[in-house]
Structures are given as C-alpha cells and as structure tokens.
Structure 1
C-alpha cells in the first residue's frame, strides 16, 4: 500500500483517510483543471497494486496519456518494483512512442515517523528517474497534502503535451494511468 488512493483523494477531494481498502481492479476520479486558458477534465485512474488484483487493472492502461508510478519512501521493495511497473505498463498499454511516453514518479509517505523510517533517499530516486529519460519526480505526503497539487499539475501538463491540437475540445478529458498499474487516465501505482 503505497498510497495511490490516498493521493487521488487528497488531490481531488482534499481529504485523507487511513481507512482505504486495497483497490480491486481499478477506480477513477475526475477533476477539472485549467491549463493554458483551457478547461480540462482530468480523469485519474487508480489501479490495483496488490499482486492478486493486478491483472484486473491492465485493461485500463491502453489509451492513457500519462502514467504515474508511486512508491513508498519507507519501503525499499516498492521502489525496486518501479522498473517492473514501468515495463509492464509499456507492454500492456503499447503506446505508439514508448521511448517518449510520459511518466511521473511520486515518492509518497515522506511524513511517516518524521522521515526517520525512510529507506529510499531522494538522491537515489532522482538517479533512477534520470536513468529512465529524466522522468519528473516529486516527494509527497498524501496525509499532509504536501506537494500533491504540484505533482498533479506536472502530471496534467505531461498528459496534455502529446495531445494533437485537433483533438482538443472544451471541456477535454485526459486520461492518466496510475502508478503500480497505469491506464489511459492518470493513475497512480507502484
């Protein structure tokens, strides 16, 4: 549980709860965002991170405009799984230009234990992102709301940059696939 659902709910509803259950398959929320004098409806998909539910989410990857990979800075295994999540997303979504498909990485739960239980350094995470084509990286706290808006602003910007001008209507819907598992909506996972 790296906090994908918590990040989505903090961004869309400005709420945090410790009571979330494991996502089964996929869920999504929408939020209207203003970008370059246009109004868009951001469709954020939250896909299952737990292995037993992962296969239920892959159908939502295809058509995503951006993929968000989320890990818990306090759990090394969640960071080590980033590459697997990224590769599986590219296989399942099969974007037309996989080398340039936009990803964003979020290192979540930086608030836990005042940062004392952290096992993945910011430097290590940024080095991984740099090695994968300079993926944008944000450290977040869904609980405290820290850096959540900035992260999703970057996600929306990356989702929109590959949209052909002729496909843009008002309002637009952008799909962003989630980390862990991602889809054609902005989703978060890992």
Structure 2
C-alpha cells in the first residue's frame, strides 16, 4: 500500500512502486470535486507506469472517502456519479468510507485483499499454463524430429 495523498510530485516515482502490483486502489475526497476529477489521471498514470500485461482487466478499486464531513452537506461528488464513473471503466468496485468514523473501511480493504489475491492467482495460473504449453511444444517438436529420423533410417 502506497499512499501519495494525491500529490502529483509522487507521480515520477510511480514506476518503481507500481510494477508488480496485484491491484490498485484510488481514493478521492467526496467533498472536493477536483479530487474526483483526477481519478482518470491517476488510473492512466498507474497503467502507464505499472505496464501490466492486460491493462483492460487490471483490477482497480475506487474509494470515496470523508463521507462523514458536515453530515454529508458539503459533498461535491454523489455516490451515483462515482458509481457511474466506475461502471464506465469496466465496473470497478466502489466503496464509500469514513476513515475518521471507521465506516466501511474494513469492507473496502477486504475487497482489496481478495482482488489482489485473485489477480495474483490468475497471473500464476497464466504463467503455469504458458510454461506447460512451452514444454508440450518442445516435446512435440522432439518427437517429430525423432520420427523423421526413424523414417529416414527405414527408407535407406
């Protein structure tokens, strides 16, 4: 977990920290519209720096935080607007939280853990399948070569 607090000065360090990630969590403040408006920039920057093998299916989770402030009266980003954005990006899971009141934080991070583990298992399975395919291909090629040599010996 790497918390940049939305500070752009950390973007240049991204590639060193993003590579090998199993999931990306982007948190915004529901009371600051600009915080929400930068979600896409952070998502794109992460994908650029992390360079995952399949950017379209890389798992993200979005968290709208600080829902407790002013009883929700100072809220600038509606839950619907945030959910619509998440839906438009491939149905990214969305959680609304209050870190101050410890509301929905455990649920959000449980989803993060499950998503990261699932991603890691998928990556491992894909690598295992690629290895198995390579071994089968190599064995098949050797069999063909052996059969070819044996047929040549029979013809002579």
What does residue range 81-160 of structure 1 map to in structure 2 within 5 Å?
A: 81-160=38-117
CA distance in 2, matches of 1:49, 1:118: 18
Unmatched segments (≥5 aa) in structure 1: 1-43, 168-190
Larger proportion of helix: 2
Q: CA deviation at 1:59?
A: 1.5
Question: CA RMSD of the aligned region, Å?
Answer: 1.9
Task: Give the drift of 1:48.
Answer: 5.2
Shift of 1:57: 4.0
Number of aligned residues: 125
1:14 aligns to what? none
Q: Answer yes or no: is 1:74 the counterpart of 2:31.
A: yes
Q: Quick one: higher RCO (CA 8 Å, sep 6+), 1 or 2?
A: 1
Normalising by structure 1, we get a TM-score of 0.62
Map 1:19-58; keep pairs closer than 5 Å: 44-47=1-4, 49-58=6-15
Which protein has the bigger strand share? 1
Judged with a 3 Å threshold, the aligned counterparts in structure 2 of structure 1 residues 116 and 166 are, in CA distance, closer, same or farther, namely closer
Distance 1:48 1:142 in 2: 14
